[in-house]
Amino acid sequence: MDSGLVRKAEKAKDYAVQPDRVKFTRYDAEFRGDNGDHTISYEAGRWDCSCEFFAGHGTCSHTMAMQMMFEGMVSKDPVASA
Ligand SMILES: [Zn+2]
């Protein structure tokens, strides 16, 4: 690795322990739940999950778990993308 790249890698290690620098704008994820796989999407602060519970409640254990995993990087509002 050249010295420029080494410095970048060192900077990356610094950044990696500062999650407050990161805000997700959108992502899609497959969530392996206990009762099956679900598709989660997040865009502009709005959540969606393919599970039945989310359809009725606008939130679910999957989106809640994602909010906990990425605390500070995503919106906590359980807003359904209706
Ligand atoms: Zn769900």
How close is the Cα of 50 to the center of ligand 1, in Å? 6
Measured in Å, residue 46 CA sits from the centre of ligand 1 at 14
Residue 44 CA, ligand 1 centroid: distance in Å: 18
Residue-level pLDDT at 78:
62
What residues are neighbours of ligand 1 (ion), with CB under 5 Å?
38, 49, 51, 54, 60, 62
C-beta pairs of 60-66 under 8 Å, 24+ apart in sequence: 61/33, 62/31, 62/33, 62/38, 65/31, 66/29, 66/31, 66/40, 66/42
Q: What is the pLDDT at residue 75?
A: 84
What is the pTM (predicted TM-score) of this model? 0.80
The pLDDT assigned to 81 comes to 43
d(CA 13, ligand 1 centre) in Å: 33
Mind listing the pLDDT tens digit of every residue in the chain (82 residues)? Answer: 689 999 999 999 999 999 889 999 999 999 999 999 999 999 988 999 999 999 999 999 999 999 999 988 888 876 544 4
pLDDT at 82: 40
